[in-house]
Amino acid sequence: MSLWCSDGLDFTAYLDRIGAAAPPVPTLDALRELHRAHVTSIPFENLEIIVGRPIPLDIAAVQRKLVEQSRGGYCFEHVTLFAAALERLGFRFTALSGRVILGGDPETRPATHALLAVEFDDGSRYLCDVGFGRGPLEPIPLANGAEVEQDGWGFRLTSSPVGDLFGTARWVLAQRAEEWIPRNAFTFDPQFPIDYAVGNHFVSTSPRSPFVTRSFVQRFDERTHETLDGVTWTTEKPDGLSQVRDVEPAELPVLLADVFGVVLDPDDCRAVIAAETRRIAESAS
């Protein structure tokens, strides 16, 4: 069996879900097309946790949710699916774990973000970050100081030594807002599906995880980054303009469907409304 279980992936259904064609060979152009199609088609969301269900990472479960049911997921689900697709196509890549910092201290954050580094025969390497919710649209060259602008969205990679042993380097991916904001830090310690299973357990069950406390949904494309954080809906544009609105819990199902492309069944709609209503009441008490 393949490491990322690509033999269990319905590749045609995946391509239909993201609106992409199967590339004939694993080239950089093909990687760019698949990365862009994936991040602009499949939203980021943690709603299974909010309605009280676990987050399985086997390829059948991930495919059923993100492809067949047209739902979204968070980084471990996205990267599991994307890795299976890359493996099917013959790309050479290494799975990595990152620490989400968003301007904070890397030493205080757990390594709970999943990324991929893809390598080509000429020795060039590219970072794929399909599971963060806010781009990048396409892979970023893994080179210290690499700075890219993708349809107005800016990203930058930097590298510096960390620790005194083994010559380890810490890489930091930053996103441009009013200023550069470091968003995640990672090293090249290879990760495997079992490592993601451990991180996934923490993210989906620990009371220290932000994803167990409130709904968090994102949709990203060339023009807009939409975020739903609890009942706060934020729309950001590449030029930095943004709009923030608070919504009522009862409005969430329609908002999720119309803006984020996440359609819940009636029972899950009621569960999300109840969870956010309860959270608001608890925070006000």
User: Is 269 a catalytic site residue?
Assistant: no
* From 78, 113, 268, 269, the catalytic residue: 113
Residue 33: half-sphere exposure toward Cβ, Cα within 13 Å: 13
User: Is 129 a catalytic site residue?
Assistant: yes
Encoded amino acid at 78, one letter: H
Encoded amino acid at 179, one letter: E
User: Is 113 a catalytic site residue?
Assistant: yes
Other C-beta atoms closer than 10 Å to the C-beta of 271 total: 17
Torsion of CA 216, 219, 224, 226, to 10 degrees: -20
* From 129, 225, 268, 269, the catalytic residue: 129
Q: Annotate 39-66 with DSSP letters as a single string.
A: HHHS-EE-HHHHTT-----SHHHHHIII
Token code pair at residue 238: 């590449």
Q: How far is residue 108 from each of residues 36, 118, 185, measured CA to CA in Å?
A: 31, 28, 12
* From 75, 78, 225, 269, the catalytic residue: 75
Residue whose C-alpha is closest to residue 230's, from 43, 47, 101: 47
- Residues with a known catalytic role: 75, 113, 129
